[in-house]
Amino acid sequence: MKHANFIIISYVLTFGTIIGYSLRMFSRARKLDDFVKDADKPWT
Amino acid sequence: MNIFSLNSKSPTGTRTTRALGVVAILGMTLLGVLGIFLTGEDVVQGSTVRMMYMHVPTAWVAYLAFIVTAVASGAYMWGKQHSLTFDRVAGASAEVGVIFMAMSLVTGSLWGRLTWGTYWQWDPRLTTTVFLLVTYIGYLAVRGLGGTPQQRAKRSGVMALLAVLEIPLVHFSVVLWRSLHQKASVLRPNGDVTMDGLMLFTLMFGLVVFTITFAWMVLHRQRVLTLIDAFNASGIDAAVSERRKEGQVS
């Protein structure tokens, strides 16, 4: 496949950014979870 | 690794987000396989068309995210309850939109290097897109200025309702001005679609998968924002009661 490096980089960057952002979001949620009462979490 | 583990450990996960998360992961995997291995090369663009299956859906999600931000801000401002949930949805959607807009610019830039011979041109579409991105980075900065959640919701709501007006400018920039950027291949005024077969399916599939991923990310992010607001409020309550105790002692 021609230009495989550019193509692979665009896929890795896109998926990698989504995964990285999601992991950071979950990490933040876990850190905050202990300090917040269940009453303040309407989804639980 | 269990594919459910990302969500099951998350305090912001529910049955709905878990289902969305699994569909998003499976969809992204299939999209990667379709985009890189199964679809053919374009007559004009050659193999670089494969980058479109990332570039176009990320741009679509960014537009969608900014529209959701405006709608949620409007719902906060004109709703009877002035529910902060709408404000948090607006904030979460804008943040996710900024991420996707940046990804769209990067993938577009890589594609531009191969097709136009340069990573960047101050072309109307590219320039207006950067302007839109900077506007929403500014929106996120305004949200972080401090004050009560209600003050934050009001001032950022006004900004969201103004900022969304840039989207038509970005979208129609290729028609309004002479642009290097190609015109629409699917949403054309005369209704003709200039893609066919598996390529069109892959592009449409990408739009659906990225939209599901967007919904999943916004749901989680707005719950994290709820946790942050609750944490800040409990911190203020604790400080106030501490001060009261100090006052009683002295």
Query: Per-residue pLDDT tens for B152-170?
Result: 999 999 999 999 999 999 9
Contact A7 B11 (CB under 8 A): no
Residue with tokens 């929403």: B136
The interface pTM score, or ipTM, of the predicted complex is 0.94
pLDDT beyond 90 at B208: yes
Question: For position B96, what pLDDT does the model report?
Answer: 98
Residue with tokens 């946790």: B227
CB contact, 8 Å: B30 with chain A? no
CB contact, 8 Å: A12 with chain B? no
Residues of A whose CB is below 8 A from B111: 6, 10
How far is it, in rounded angstroms, from Cα B241 to Cα B250? Answer: 14
Mean pLDDT along residues B38-67: 92
CA B228 vs. chain centroid, Å, equals: 20
Contact A26 B220 (CB under 8 A): yes
How many Å lie between the alpha carbon of A26 and the closest alpha carbon of chain B? 6
Round to the nearest angstrom and report the end-to-end CA distance of chain B: 58
pLDDT beyond 70 at B226: yes
Answer with the residue of higher pLDDT: B143 or B238: B143
pLDDT beyond 70 at B193: no
What separation in angstroms does the CA of B64 have from each of B3, B12, B100? 27, 23, 10
pLDDT beyond 50 at B3: no
Q: Which residue in B30, B55, B175 sits closest to B114, CA to CA?
A: B55
- CA dihedral (B12, B17, B19, B24) in degrees, to 10, reads -110
Pick from B27-31, B135-139, B195-199, B202-206: least confident: B195-199
CB contact, 8 Å: A24 with chain B? no
Question: For position B174, what pLDDT does the model report?
Answer: 85
Residues of A whose CB is below 8 A from B28: 15, 18
Q: CA-nearest residue of chain B to A4?
A: B47
CA torsion sign for B168, B174, B179, B180 is positive
What separation in angstroms does the CA of B86 have from each of A22, B68, B76, B154, B209? 21, 10, 5, 11, 24
Number of A/B CB contacts below 8 angstroms equals 104
Length, in residues, of chain B: 250
How far is it, in rounded angstroms, from Cα B83 to Cα B72? Answer: 10
Contact A7 B224 (CB under 8 A): no
Residues of A whose CB is below 8 A from B226: 40-42
Q: CA-nearest residue of chain B to A24?
A: B221
Contact A14 B107 (CB under 8 A): yes
How many Å lie between the alpha carbon of A7 and the closest alpha carbon of chain B? 6
Contact A3 B46 (CB under 8 A): yes
How many Å lie between the alpha carbon of A17 and the closest alpha carbon of chain B? 8
The HSE-up count of residue B157 (CA atoms within 13 Å, CB side) is 23
Contact B104, B79 (CB under 8 A): no
Mean pLDDT along residues B182-192: 67
CA diameter of chain A: 56
CA A9 vs. chain centroid, Å, equals: 19
pLDDT beyond 90 at B196: no
Of B103, B213, B220, the CB nearest to A25: B220
CB contact, 8 Å: B26 with chain A? no
The HSE-up count of residue A35 (CA atoms within 13 Å, CB side) is 17
CB contact, 8 Å: A22 with chain B? yes
Count CB neighbours of B179 within 10 A: 17
Task: With cut-offs at 50, 70 and 90, classify the pLDDT of residue B210.
Answer: very high
How far is it, in rounded angstroms, from Cα B56 to Cα B53? Answer: 6
